[in-house]
Structure 1
Amino acid sequence: MLYYFHSRVIYFLLLLVVLPAFGEGALELTEGKSTLVDTNLWYEFDNVVDVPRLQAIKSLESVNSALQTAQTMPSLGGESGTYFTKVTLSIPQKGQYFVIVNANFIDVGLASYSSSHQPEPTFQVFSQLRDNATPPLLHFQAITVQTTMDNEQIALRLLIKAKQFPTPVSISVLDSRAFYQFQKLNNGISIAGITSMLILALLAVLIYSGTRKRVALTCAGYLGLHGVGWAAASGMLNDIVSLPINTSYWGMLIFPLAIASAAQFVSDLFECKADHKKLFTFLRCVSVVSFVLGITMWFMPFTLAYLLSHLLAMFWIVFTIVVGVSMLKKNDFRAKYFLAGNLVYSLSLGYYIAAHSLYFGELPYPESAVIFALSLDCLCILLCLTEWFKLKQKEFTRNQYLSRIDSMTQLGNRFSLSECIGQIADDYVIVYIDLDGLKSINDRNGHDEGDKLIIKTASLLQQSFYSLGDVFRSGGDEFVVVLQANSAHGIQNAADKALAQMSHVSIELGKQWHDAGVSFGIATSLEAKGPSECISLADKRMYQHKAKTKYSNP
């Protein structure tokens, strides 16, 4: 590995001696910066810069002969391999300047500059793995050029090698002020975006740890893998962890795994397994295919892996927008954040493509724009997750309500009664009520009329005991009233009020159904050891009361 690197350095120094001056004229800075597009800028040297061939080169003449056959490239967009160029920079004032090679992946980057005042070449290495000589710059590498005189003409030579140049490789020259401003915005947006993705993923993991819901785990995979992928693609991973390999390629290789998680998240988010079976099947296929791609792409040529990742990205963006619109039409408001995030991400990808095309020229911060948009998309995805939990909470609350409320009378049912007596205080009164005349009314007038009698009884009981206690329907025609008291004296007052109110209820029912009424029994906490025993005593007294009244059922 060390021999390989030094061999390239030696060969590059030979290039500095024998290479003819490519291009004519000098690149001048305007307002502290200037950009040279890559049209016919780079020369191909794949047939020379190769370790076996490098070892076979024995003389300066053979190098010079090889250089004469070098082919100029219309553009490096979509190309791979090793390329060389020489440009002349016209520097207006002495000071420090920075040259940025606008390429996302650089495995080998060698630079040298000289001038009439500095005839001895200054050599620099600026590959993804060896960029410590200049201020860190995510997504790109920078070369430092130091001038000692005003209006100095700098001859700059560059050699770059990568497995893939996804876009045209232009060269930007900036003075110190312009460079640090660019660095601040480029690095700041990228670091903030990647950090936010990872933090949102951590929040999703914490949500999963508390809920054990799979949708939170797939959401964490969606967010976390995107964050890790962009941390690698931007060069941040290489800056944080010293690794002997160029991890900027990992962004493309991790992306299919992120889509595999994303497909599962979409399936869980919209509950496709239960509500959208065809979409569930399709998403499962997308997840499996993406996962297989995410594994196999590590073993295939990067050019092919790069193409497959971009095809998958284009498919996924279109697919998610279609799904978002479809779900929004179905009034599934979880889709509002989902659709908004993917629209923002789609627009950023359009800007990224435009920034690297020959038609729009250089547009500022394309990579940072994509990361920023993706971080907003990830925020929207987390909001989708919160909407999912809100919906589940509403469903749980509704089911809990229905499980404790009698649907006919809207009174608490037997479960609510059990909860109430489990939390009851020391002083209380229990009234056990049985409806009289219901069977005869059902037989004579039908069950609809009997239901009206039950509903009317419940309404009268609620009105009678509204400020005194709680009313429950414990069975078909049975009701229980629980009255709270503050003292033994309060218990007696509550029992007296209950007796009066029950007489009133019986009279009111008799006005509408002449053979209807109520039998009831009253028991207090002074007479029993606990609520259950008190209810049993009130039930026993209810039957005693029923036996004495003329409204008893046969």
Structure 2
Amino acid sequence: MDNMAVKCVSALLLLWMATFFPSFPSFALEGRQLTETTDIVIQDIDSWRKIDAEPDSPPASLEALQHLYRSSSPVETSIVNHSGAYVARLKLNNQMAGAASWFVRINANFIDQGLGFWQSEQYVNTRVINFSQHGDISSPKLMHTQAFELPLSQQESGFLWLYIKAEHYALPLSVEIINSASFYHKQFITNSVTLFSIAVMLTLAAIALTLYVKTRLAVTLACSAYIGLHGLGWAAASGLIDDVFNIESINTTYLGVVIFPFAIAAASQFTKLLFNFDSLHKRLAKLFNGVSIVCLIFGLTMPLLSFSISFTISHIIALIWVPLAIVTGWKMLIYSDFRAKYYLLGNLLYGLSMLYYILSHSDVFTGQQHAELIVLLALAGDCFCILLSLAAWLQQKKQDYSRAYYLARIDPLTHIGNRYALSEALAQVDGNYIITFIDFDGIKQVNDKLGHDQGDALLCYGAKTMANTLDSKGEVFRTGGDEFVWLLNIPLSADMELADMASATEEIERMMTQCQNALQSKWPQSGISYGVAHARESNNQSECLALADKRMYQNKRSKDKRRIA
């Protein structure tokens, strides 16, 4: 028992001396052994100490950091959802046969200041390591977190002193020490997935913006903002913007949280416009307008609030928006809305990933890996589905427009162009055209004796016959009742002689006789009266059409006189 008591007292004494006298020999604290397979995760409550009086700037020397360490107290609970400055001291021993490098990763999304000192037990010089958000230019880039390289000589041991300060710690502030192979593998996976997902989102946003430039439809602009703001937000939160532009005036990683409410405001407007809530579901339109307004207010006020409050607000918005979007997609799917299947699938992916992400940033569900990567991949999939829903919406609009265009310009009985289509065709012709105004004879007798069904059949047969006769020489239009117009594209040269004009007129007469014979073979009491006018005889298309109409009536009256005689 006496020996056991002596050993306990000695161990406590050595621990106390190692804590308050960092230069105390290394046998006082065995430390963590770094081997070829090293993959150490040091939990926050095992390593960090809270600094009560936070300095305005990081400690300028190892001595200053040691003073902060001695005057601080160890944390007793996880640092997750806390803020402020913390210090740590880690004892490390290189057990490799030769020199080797390890990588130290600080598990924190947002870092304002990060400083490290390596105090070797074998060498006099102290190595200074800057891994803050703005001071990590030479550090290896690992998105969503901060990391730095720690090269050690053969059998080198010593203390790694760390200082960190941030507005908010979204995750437990663990420290991971891994070998080079593991780090580069993690770096490749993390950076590749992040860059791929952000590139997909920004590309899809650019496509939607291009559609807006071409169509000027508000739904395409809302879609571009929805996808683009999510892409920009994650580019900021991952540290990509800071890595690319090295902005020193602000910590750009915080912008991801600030941008998020604006992205949801755009998503809300996109949803309203996509499903046409303004005309079909007015109560839902008011709901989504309200969501947009609330999100905009929060987005504008967040820069004035502490980041911890902003972080909480963004998560609350996500918790409200995701179920709302999923329920909306499901409801629209019940209504057999063709766009809902893409919208619902995308938001299900996004919703499940966001649930995982939020839980991984809480005290309930900590220690989960790759939460950001899962959200990014799911969000990229969501954005792709959102663009598919927009494409389906545009396709439907195009079909509706084509149907309306067709109905507005096509005669429903004969399925040839109507008066509106004739006006458009006349507006597009140049100086080379011939107009033939046509009126069917005997249509009243056919209606009275054979019925209106036969009268309609005569009109349809006549329209088809004339279209086949004209072929590529021109178009036929029904301008009303039994009146039709031919617009021929027979070329008329500037020096066209009367003989050539007469030849063109004879060709029209021949075709007209052919059509009339076809009609009379089925309806003997029918016939065709027509008048021909060409561009050289008038100043514009309207005058030419009026002249052809006049000549048609002249032709009809001459036939009536011959019939009476």
Aligned to 1:410: 415
In 2, the alpha carbon distance for the partners of 1:526 and 1:105 equals: 77
Q: Counterpart in 2 of 1:368?
A: 373
Tell me: CA distance 1:414–1:44, structure 2 relative to 1, closer, same or farther (3 Å): same
Q: Partner residue of 1:294?
A: 299
Question: Matches of 2:450 and 2:523 in 1, distance apart?
Answer: 16
Counterpart selection for 1:279 from 263, 270, 284: 284
Q: Map of 1:417-436 to 2, 5 A cutoff?
A: 417-423=422-428, 430-436=435-441
5+ long unaligned stretches in structure 1: 1-14, 511-515
Post-superposition offset of 1:407: 1.7
* Residues 1:72 and 2:64 are matched in the alignment: no
State the 1:139 CA deviation: 1.8
Name the CA distance, whole Å, in 1 between partners of 2:146 and 2:479. 77
Contiguous gaps of at least 5 residues in structure 2? 1-18, 493-499
Alignment identity in percent? 36
Alignment-derived partner of residue 158 in structure 1:
162
What SS does the aligned partner of 2:88 have? strand
CA distance in 2: counterparts of 1:32 and 1:547, whole angstroms: 107
CA distance in 1, matches of 2:381, 2:35: 35
d(CA) in 2 for partners of 1:540, 1:60: 104
Q: Contact between 2:531 and 2:550, CA under 8 Å: does it hold in 1?
A: no
Which residue of the partner structure matches residue 502 of structure 1?
A: 516
Query: Shift in Å at residue 78 of structure 1?
Result: 1.9
Cα deviation for residue 345 of structure 1 reads 2.4
- Provide the C-alpha distance between the structure 2 equivalents of 1:105 and 1:452, rounded to a whole number of angstroms: 78
**Which moved further from structure 2: 77-86 or 422-431?**
422-431
- The change in CA–CA distance for 1:46 and 1:509 in structure 2 (over 3 A counts) is farther
The residue type equivalent to 2:130 in the other structure is V
Pairing 1:88–2:98 present: no
Q: Find the partner of 1:97 among 91, 97, 102.
A: 102
Deviations 1:136-184 (A, max 9, x none): 332211133221114x444323232222111222211122233233223
Cα 1:104–1:408 shift into 2, 3 Å: same
Which residue is equivalent to 1:521? 530
- The 5 Å alignment of 1:118-517 reads 118=123, 121-150=126-155, 152-239=156-243, 240-353=245-358, 364-423=369-428, 430-439=435-444, 451=456, 454-462=459-467, 465=470, 469-485=474-490, 488=500, 489=503, 491-510=505-524, 517=526
Q: Does the 8 A contact of 1:439 with 1:553 survive in 2? A: no
Distance, in Å, in 2 between the alignment partners of 1:534 and 1:444 is 36
1:540 to 538, 550, 555: 550
Q: Residue deviations 1:110-161, cap 9 Å, x none?
A: 32333432465433232223223422332211133221114x4443232322
TM-score, normalised by the number of residues in structure 2: 0.80
Q: Distance between the aligned counterparts of 2:380 and 2:462, measured in 1? A: 59
One-letter code of the match for 1:74?
Answer: T
Closer/same/farther in 2, CA of residues 179 and 545 from structure 1, 3 Å limit = same
Distance 1:553 1:454 in 2: 23
Q: Superposition RMSD on alpha carbons, in Å?
A: 3.9
Taking structure 1 as the reference length, what is the TM-score of the superposition?
A: 0.81
Give the number of aligned pairs: 527
Q: What does residue 3 of structure 1 align with?
A: none
Deviation, 1:328, is 3.3
Aligned mates of 1:447, 1:218 — CA distance in 2: 53
The one-letter amino acid of 2:83's match is S
Which residue does the alignment assign to 2:14? none
Determine the C-alpha separation between the residues in 2 that align with 1:227 and 1:280: 26
SS at 1:267's partner residue? Answer: helix
The one-letter amino acid of 2:513's match is L
- In structure 2, give the amino acid aligned to 1:77: V
Q: Deviation of residue 25 (structure 1)?
A: 5.9
| Worse overlay, 309-318 or 229-238 | 229-238
**Contact 2:411/2:418 (<8 A) preserved:** yes
Q: Secondary structure at the match of 2:517?
A: helix
